[in-house]
Amino acid sequence: MRFEIITIFPEFFSGFFEHGVVRRALKEGLVSVGVRDLREFTHDRHRTVDDRPFGGGEGMVLKPEPLAEALESLGIAAKAERGLSSPTLAPEITLKDGAPNSGVEEAARTGTQVILLSAQGRRFTQAVARELTRRERVILVCGRYEGVDERINSLYCDMELSIGDYVLSGGELAAAVVMDAVTRLVPGVLGNEASSEFESFGIMDSAISTDETGIPRSQHGSGGLLDYPHFTRPAEFKGMVTPEVLLNGDHQQIRRWRREQQLRKTLENRPDLLEQAELCDEDRRMLVDLGWRPSGWPVGRRQP
């Protein structure tokens, strides 16, 4: 899988590429990356990439011509030239596995997804990261100043993506976030193939309903919940002891404790995730005991 990043600050990424999982994935050839300096696509003495906004107002806007040239150098034609009828609407991306919509189908045809990093974009989530691993190539366009001339979005981009509800000064951090989150989901990148399934927001393997010991699969992968707490040596630290259950070697008990902790933490920090999570009856019972009331339940009602 290949990433292409278009930026006015190509040096920004050098440290990012040289550390941890991303570095290893690049070294092993599981992903590759190209960084395009937007100024290479200018033709004036000052290598101008920005201009004042039409209509007045603060700040500068990234000009369309260098961005268009950079994208065309990567083989991306304007949508009109690609025969797409509705260039003003960025297509949707699949948020749930197995139900691709028009955006994914379009991108799957070319194997490329062109993404404009933008605070106005749809939210980047683990589901979007998983979806992007299906692309042969992901092009990340980094805005700066007040943003990018909107015609670049309309003409060339498949989607606008926001990494959260806050405004960054540039798309480079967001591009690094997207590349990191997608890279670690590329098969073979994480040492233990299963580990992304067991992390926060991980999906369970729907092909397996129970394991060999009869434990429901939903109690293995995180199934859309947050991760459980982790502990390592020493067993006691500043007067706080590691939960006994983690030291006794009983894997069934450990699994049950971890599941309960996942449910607790998700209920406490992200109760919104519970509505979509893959829960078994035991999970639901545990959650109700912890005080969970699924939306639509009358206050005070117990689980049937």
- Give contact residues for ligand SAM (rule: CB under 6 A): 117-120, 142-144, 146-148, 162-164, 166-171, 174
**Centroid of chain to Cα 128:** 5
Q: Which is nearer to ligand SAM, 107 or 163 (CB)?
A: 163
| Shortest distance, position 67 Cβ to ligand SAM, whole Å | 11
Q: Which is nearer to ligand SAM, 112 or 162 (CB)?
A: 162
CB 200 within 8 A of CB 227: yes
Cα 213 from Cα 219, distance rounded (Å): 12
Q: Which is nearer to ligand SAM, 176 or 263 (CB)?
A: 176
Q: Which is nearer to ligand SAM, 147 or 223 (CB)?
A: 147
Cα distances (Å, whole numbers) of residue 196 to 127, 190, 255: 12, 8, 17
CB 103 within 8 A of CB 92: yes
- Give 35's strand partners: 5
Cis peptide, bond prior to residue 234, ω within 30 of zero: yes
| Shortest distance, position 64 Cβ to ligand SAM, whole Å | 13
Q: Which is nearer to ligand SAM, 117 or 182 (CB)?
A: 117
Residue nearest to ligand SAM (CB): 143
| Shortest distance, position 123 Cβ to ligand SAM, whole Å | 9
| Shortest distance, position 181 Cβ to ligand SAM, whole Å | 13
| Shortest distance, position 246 Cβ to ligand SAM, whole Å | 37
CB 146 within 8 A of CB 127: no
Name the region of 29 (left: φ>0; alpha: ψ -120 to 50; beta: rest).
Answer: left
